[in-house]
C-alpha cells in the first residue's frame, strides 16, 4: 500500500472513530491547493533543461501550511499529496499553529552542479513566491535539499517581498536558523521514547536498541540513547549493518563513519546482513531510513517490544496488524518524528520575534512539546480504546476538524 493510500486509510478510520460528519471528512481530504510549475534553467554548458516542481498545500485551518521541499527523481503528485496531508495531522498532533504542505522538484540533485541547483531553486521560488510566505506556507528542507537550499529560497523570496527570514525554516544559523535544529528530529525521537518507556515503568538506561539508518535522525538518536545509558546493539545504513550484543560505542562509530564513510570494518562490532537488523534481538527498534521496511514478510520475526517510527511510514498496514497481535507497541511516525517540525516552529517564532533562543531553551521546549503530545495521544487512545497510531490520528484530525468548524462554512 502506498503512502497516500495508507494515510487516507488512517484518516478515514480516525474520522469514523470521531464520528465526523461526511461533509467535513471529505473536505479535510481534499488539498487546499495543488501547484505544478515548469522550471527551466540553463545548465553549466549553456543547454536548457526543464524540471517539474510541485507544491501541495493541504490545509490551513490551524495556521500557515508547513512542510518540506524535496529534490528527488521520484517526486510525484500522489506522494507529495500524501506527505502534505500527513504534515497537517503531524503539526496538529504536536499542537503547532500550522497546517500541512509538501513540495518537490523531480530531479537528481547529485547530477546537478551547485550553481545549477541554485538556479533551479531560484526559478522554483520565482514561480511560487506569491503562494508561499511566513503567514501562508513555510517550506523547509527534505530529501535532497538542505540549509543552503533554504538560504537561496530566502534570498530569492526577499527580492520580491523584502527581508523575510520566517518564509523558510531549516536555514543556516547565520541567516536566522535555530540552534538545535540539526539534532531536533533525533532528539525528539529520544524524548518520545522516554515518554513511552516511562509509561511502562522503564527508562532508556539498560535497554537494548536496534537502529536502521545512521544519517541525520539515526545518528542523533543513537548518540543520545548512548549518552543516556541505553545499549545500541545493532546499526545499519545503506552500506551495511553491524551488531554487538554488549553495546556499540557510538562516539567511536561516528568517528569511524566520518573517516571511512561506511559502517563496516568498525573494530567494535561484527558485520551482519542488512535485513537482519529489523528482526535482531533488542528491546526497542527504531527505523530511521525508508518507508515500508516492516511488512508482512518480516513483521512476524520482529523481536523488539517497542517500535519507534522515526522514519515516515516505515510500517505498512499488514505489518501493523501482525505486530499489534504480537503485542508490540508502536509509537507512530506522525508523533515520533515531529521533533524536526517542532523546532522549525521555534525557528519561525524566533524569526518573527527577532530574538534568538539559546540551545538549552530550544531543547527544553522540545522536551515539553514531545511529552505533552505523548500524554494527549495516550489519552485519546484510552478514550477511544484504540492503539497509539489511532490515538495520534484522532488527536490530529479532531483538532483540524474543530478549527475548520470554528472558522465556519459560509462563503
List of residues contacting ligand NAD (CB under 6 A): 185, 212-218, 236-238, 274, 288-290, 310-312, 337, 340
DSSP string, 202-265: --STT-EEEEE--SHHHHHHHHHHHHTT-EEEEEEETTEEEE-TT---HHHHHHHHHHHSSSTT
Cell of 260: 571511512
Phi, psi of 332 (to 5 degrees): -75, 155
Q: Please give the helix or strand (H or E) that residue 363 lies within, else none.
A: helix 359-383
Q: How far is the CB of 356 from ligand NAD (least distance, A)?
A: 20
Q: How far is the CB of 119 from ligand NAD (least distance, A)?
A: 24
Closer CB to ligand NAD, 13 or 274, in the complex: 274
Say how far apart CA 389 and CA 327 lie, in whole Å: 14
Q: How far is the CB of 98 from ligand NAD (least distance, A)?
A: 14
Closer CB to ligand NAD, 340 or 391, in the complex: 340
Q: How far is the CB of 377 from ligand NAD (least distance, A)?
A: 17
Question: Catalytic: 102?
Answer: yes
CB 287 within 8 A of CB 295: no
Say how far apart CA 373 and CA 91 lie, in whole Å: 11
CB 374 within 8 A of CB 308: no
Give the list of residues 6+ apart from residue 167 with CB closer than 8 angstroms, or none: 132, 133, 134, 138, 139, 153, 154, 157, 158, 161
Which residue's C-alpha cell is 511488512?
295
Q: How far is the CB of 49 from ligand NAD (least distance, A)?
A: 25
Say how far apart CA 244 and CA 62 lie, in whole Å: 46
Q: How far is the CB of 215 from ligand NAD (least distance, A)?
A: 2
Beta-strand pair 240-243/270-272: antiparallel
Catalytic residue among 66, 90, 102, 231: 102
Q: Which of 359, 379, 344 is nearest to 199 (CA)?
A: 379
Which residue's C-alpha cell is 550553481?
115
CB 396 within 8 A of CB 89: yes
Cell of 354: 527577532
Active site residues: 102
Amino acid at each position: 500500500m502506498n503512502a497516500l493510500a495508507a494515510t487516507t486509510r488512517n484518516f478515514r478510520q480516525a474520522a469514523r472513530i470521531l464520528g465526523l460528519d461526511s461533509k467535513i471528512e471529505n473536505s479535510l481530504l481534499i488539498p487546499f491547493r495543488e501547484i505544478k510549475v515548469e522550471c527551466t534553467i540553463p545548465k553549466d554548458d549553456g543547454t536548457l533543461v526543464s524540471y517539474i516542481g510541485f507544491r501541495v498545500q493541504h490545509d490551513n485551518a490551524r495556521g500557515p501550511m508547513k512542510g518540506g521541499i524535496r529534490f528527488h527523481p521520484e517526486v510525484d503528485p500522489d506522494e507529495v499529496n500524501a506527505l502534505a496531508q500527513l504534515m497537517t495531522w503531524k503539526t496538529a498532533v504536536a499542537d503547532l499553529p500550522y497546517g500541512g504542505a509538501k513540495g518537490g522538484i523531480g530531479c537528481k540533485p547529485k547530477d546537478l552542479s551547485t550553481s545549477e541547483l541554485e538556479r533551479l531553486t531560484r526559478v522554483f521560488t520565482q514561480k511560487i513566491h506569491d503562494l508561499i510566505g511566513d503567514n501562508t506556507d513555510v517550506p523547509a528542507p527534505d530529501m535532497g535539499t538542505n540549509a543552503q537550499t533554504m538560504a537561496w529560497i530566502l534570498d530569492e523570496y526577499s527580492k520580491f517581498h523584502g527581508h523575510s527570514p520566517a518564509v523558510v525554516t531549516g536555514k543556516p544559523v547565520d541567516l536566522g536558523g535555530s540552534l538545535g535544529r540539526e539534532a531536533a528530529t533525533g532528539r525528539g525521537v529520544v524524548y518520545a521514547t522516554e515518554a513511552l518507556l516511562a509509561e511502562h515503568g522503564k527508562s532508556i538506561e539498560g535497554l537494548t536498541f536496534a537502529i536502521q539508518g545512521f544519517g541525520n535522525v539515526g545518528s542523533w538518536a543513537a548518540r543520545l540513547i548512548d549518552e543516556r545509558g541505553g545499549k545500541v546493539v545493532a546499526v545499519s545504513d545503506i552500506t551495511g549493518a553491524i551488531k554487538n550484543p554488549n553495546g556499540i560505542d557510538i562516539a567511536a562509530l561516528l568517528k569511524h563513519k566520518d573517516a571511512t564513510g561506511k559502517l563496516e570494518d568498525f573494530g567494535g562490532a561484527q558485520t551482519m546482513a542488512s535485513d537482519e537488523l529489523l528482526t535482531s534481538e533488542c528491546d526497542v527498534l527504531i527505523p530511521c531510513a525508508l518507508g515500508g521496511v516492516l511488512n508482512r514478510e518480516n513483521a512476524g520475526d520482529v523481536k523488539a517490544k517497542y517500535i519507534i517510527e522515526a522514519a515516515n511510514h516505515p510500517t505498512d498496514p499488514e505489518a501493523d496488524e501482525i505486530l499489534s497481535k504480537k503485542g508490540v507497541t508502536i509509537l507512530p511516525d506522525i508523533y515520533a518524528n515531529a521533533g524536526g517540525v517542532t523546532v522549525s516552529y521555534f525557528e519561525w517564532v524566533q524569526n518573527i520575534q527577532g530574538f534568538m533562543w539559546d540551545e538549552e531553551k530550544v531543547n527544553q521546549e522540545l522536551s515539553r512539546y514531545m511529552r505533552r503530545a505523548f500524554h494527549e495521544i495516550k489519552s485519546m487512545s484510552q478514550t477511544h480504546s484504540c492503539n497509539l497510531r489511532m490515538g495520534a490520528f484522532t488527536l490530529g484530525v479532531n483538532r483540524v476538524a474543530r478549527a475548520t468548524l470554528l472558522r465556519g462554512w459560509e462563503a
